[in-house]
Structure 1
Amino acid sequence: MTTLLETRYRTVLRLLPAYYRRHREEEMVEVYLWDLDEETQDQSRPTLGEVASVAALAVRSRLAATGAPRPYAVLGSAVRHFALFAVLLQAAAALVDRVLELTWAATHGAGDWHMFLSGFTGRGPLMGVVEVAQWTLPLLWTVGFFALLHDRRRLARTSVLLAALPTLWPFAGPLVSGLEPWDPWFATAGALFAWLPALALCAAHHRDAPAAVLPAGTPGLVFAACSVVTGASEVLLSVTPDAAWAPVTCFVVGALGWLLLRRRRADASAAGGAVALAALSLLLLAVRIAMLYPWLGLPVPVVFIGGALAQAAVLTLLTVALAVLARRDLAAR
C-alpha cells in the first residue's frame, strides 16, 4: 500500500529528468523510507534538506556529462563552455581596468593619485568599505578562471560568486545610503553579465562533470591574449567609455579566432562550443543594447553612439552565424 509520505517523495523526485528516474527512483524511495514506521508516514513530509538535495541532483543530472542521453550531455557541455568563456571575459576586463586605472593615477601627478585614493577614504566608513570591495572583489574572476582550469572547483565557485557581488550594489546602495538610484538598464545589464556566468559555473561544473579545458592554448597564454585585446580596445580604440566596450571587442576577436580554429581541425565538443558562444553572444548583445539605451537622445559625441551601434551590429551578425552553426552541429550528430 502506498503511503502519503511515499507519494510526497515521488512528487519531489519528479524534479529529476525522466531518464534518471527510470534507473534510480525506486532505489531512492526505498532509501528515504528505510526504517520509518509505516503508521507515522502519513503524518510526515520530506525534509527541507532532502528537497534541496533532490533539486541539486536535478540540476546536475540535466547538465550531465557522460552516461546521459545526448540532449542532456550537449546541454551540460554548452553550459560549461558558456561559463568558462564568460568568466574569461570578466577576468580579463576586471584586471585590465584596474591596471589601467592604477597606471593612470600613478603617472599623472599627485592630484590624480590623491583623487584615486579619495575614492576609498573620502566618503565615510560605509562607502569606503563598499569602494574597496567594488575595486578588489572583481579581481576574483581571475582566481576563478585559473582555479576552474586547474580543477579546483570549490575555489572557482567561491571566487566567481564573490566577484559578482559588487553588481548587486546598484540595487542595494540606494536602500542603505543616500546614493541616487542607478539607471535600471545599466544596473540590470551589469548584474546579468556577472551572475549568469557565475551561476552557470556553479551549476554545470559539478563534481561529476569533466575537467574544464580550453579549445586551444594554455590558460596563461589565453588569459594574456584576452588581456592584451581588452587593454588595446580601451587604450587604442576607446571610442565608447562604457563597461561593455572592451568585453564585447574581446569576445568578437575570440569568437572569430574560434571559428578559424574550428575550420582547421575537428573539435569533439563543437556542438557544445557553438551553442555556448551563441548564448554568450546573445547575452553580450543584450548588455550592449541595455548600456547604450540610456545614452540615446543625450548630447553625447556621435562617435560614442556610432561605436556602440557598430558593436551591436557586429554582435547581431555574429550571434546569427553562431546560432546557425550550432544548429547544424546539433542536427549532424
Structure 2
Amino acid sequence: MGEPGVSNLERRYRVLLKVLPRWYRQDREEEMVGIFLAERDDDLDLEHSWPGWGETGAILGLSVRTHLAAGAVLTGVPAKVVWRGEVVRALGMLGLLLGLFYATAAIVSVVVGFGRPYQAPEPWWRVLELGPVVAFAALLNGRRTLAKVAAAAPVLVSMITLGQPGSVLTWSVFQLPSLVTFVCLCLGFHREAPTPPARRLLWWGGGAALLGVVGGFATGVGLLSVGLITVIVRVVAFVRGDFVLGRALSLFAVLQLVPLLFLVVAGGGVLVPAGGLALLLVLAAVAPVRQRVRA
C-alpha cells in the first residue's frame, strides 16, 4: 500500500529522482515533482502513467552532472562531490593520453612493417586506432561530443577483434585501461564541466606520442615506460599535495596492472622489469593521497 493521497505517478517520479544525490534532492525534490505533475490532474493519468522518456533522460543527465559536479554552476555542492568530479575528469584525461600512446605506437608499427616481404595487409579497422588523436584535439578545443565519439574508436576495435580468436585476449588486456577511462571521459566531461587547459596538456600529449614511438618498436618497453612514468608522477603529486591527480593516478595504476601482469605471465625479456614495475604500481595504488593545506 502506498501513502494515502499520493498518486502512482507521483510515486514513480519520486523513485526516478532517487538517482540524484541526496544533497540535491533535499532542496529541489518537491519543486521538481510539482513541475512534473503540473496540469496532470486526470485520475486515470495519475494512476497508470509513467515518467516520459524525455523526462527520464533529462533526470539521468542531471544525475551525472550533480554526482560529478564542476565549477560554480551548482550551488551548495559538498566538497567530496567536487573532488569526485575532478578525479573522474583527470582519469579520463589520463586514459586519453594512454590512447595517444597506443595510437602512435600503432602508426609506428605499421610504418616499420611496411614493405616487408610476405607482410599481410593491415585490416581496414586499424584506422580506428587513431580515434584518441582526434578525441584529444577535439576535447582541448571544447568539442566534447566529437571527442567522445572519437574516443570510442578503441572500443569498436575491441569489439571487432572479438571475431578474431587469436587477438581477443591481447586486445582485451591491453585496451582495458582505455575502455575504463573512456567511460570516465564520457561521464566527467558533461556540458557544465570545464574545458581542459590546452597549453599544459599539449606537453603531456607530446610526451605520450613520444612514448608511443618507443612502444611501436617494442610494445613491452613502451608499456613499461608508461607504468614507470605513472609511478614517478604519482610521487610528484603526493609531494605537491595534488589530491586530484594523486587519486586519479592511483586508479590509473590499478588499470595498468592487468596488462603488466599479462606481460609477466607471457614471460620473455620483460619478465623481471614487468614484475618489478607491477609491484611499484601496487604501491602507487595503495599509497596515501595528500591534499595541500591552504593558508
Same fold flag (TM > 0.5): yes
Counterpart-to-counterpart distance in 2, 1:152 and 1:278: 28
1:65–1:76 CA contact under 8 A, matched in 2: yes
Worse overlay, 196-205 or 150-159: 150-159
Superposed CA RMSD: 2.7
Residue 10 of structure 1 corresponds to which residue in structure 2?
14
Cα deviation for residue 31 of structure 1 reads: 1.7
AA partner of residue 40 (structure 2): L
Question: 1:314 pairs with 259, 277, 282, which one?
Answer: 277
Residue 54 of structure 2 corresponds to which residue in structure 1?
49
Residue 190 of structure 2 corresponds to which residue in structure 1?
206
Cα deviation for residue 291 of structure 1 reads: 5.2
Cα deviation for residue 185 of structure 1 reads: 4.3
Residue 156 of structure 2 corresponds to which residue in structure 1?
165
Question: 2:253 pairs with 281, 293, 317, which one?
Answer: 281
Question: 1:88 pairs with 90, 94, 97, which one?
Answer: 97
1:52-201 map, 5 Å: 52-66=57-71, 67=75, 68-106=77-115, 111=117, 115=119, 118-120=120-122, 131-133=123-125, 135-171=126-162, 173=163, 179=164, 181-182=165-166, 185-201=169-185
SS at 1:20's partner residue? helix
The one-character-per-residue Cα deviations of 1:68-117 (angstroms, maximum 9, x if unpaired) are 211111111111001101111111221232134214414x5xx26xx2xx
Counterpart-to-counterpart distance in 1, 2:226 and 2:207: 9
Q: Residues 312 and 77 (structure 1 numbering): CA distance in 2 closer, same or farther, change over 3 Å?
A: farther
Counterpart-to-counterpart distance in 2, 1:159 and 1:136: 11
- Provide the aligned length of Structure 1 versus Structure 2: 285
Q: Which runs of 5+ in 2 are unaligned?
A: none
**Structure 1 residue 253 corresponds to structure 2 residue 258:** no
Residue 329 of structure 1 corresponds to which residue in structure 2?
291
Counterpart-to-counterpart distance in 2, 1:20 and 1:160: 31
Cα deviation for residue 34 of structure 1 reads: 1.6
**Structure 2-normalised TM-score?**
0.85
Counterpart-to-counterpart distance in 2, 1:100 and 1:140: 16
SS at 2:142's partner residue? coil
Residue 124 of structure 1 corresponds to which residue in structure 2?
none
Cα deviation for residue 253 of structure 1 reads: 2.1
Q: Residues 163 and 170 (structure 1 numbering): CA distance in 2 closer, same or farther, change over 3 Å?
A: closer
Cα deviation for residue 273 of structure 1 reads: 0.7
Cα deviation for residue 20 of structure 1 reads: 1.1
Worse overlay, 199-208 or 58-67: 58-67
Cα deviation for residue 65 of structure 1 reads: 1.6
AA partner of residue 104 (structure 2): L
**Structure 1-normalised TM-score?**
0.76
Residue 33 of structure 1 corresponds to which residue in structure 2?
37
Cα deviation for residue 321 of structure 1 reads: 3.3
AA partner of residue 145 (structure 2): R
1:149–1:212 CA contact under 8 A, matched in 2: yes
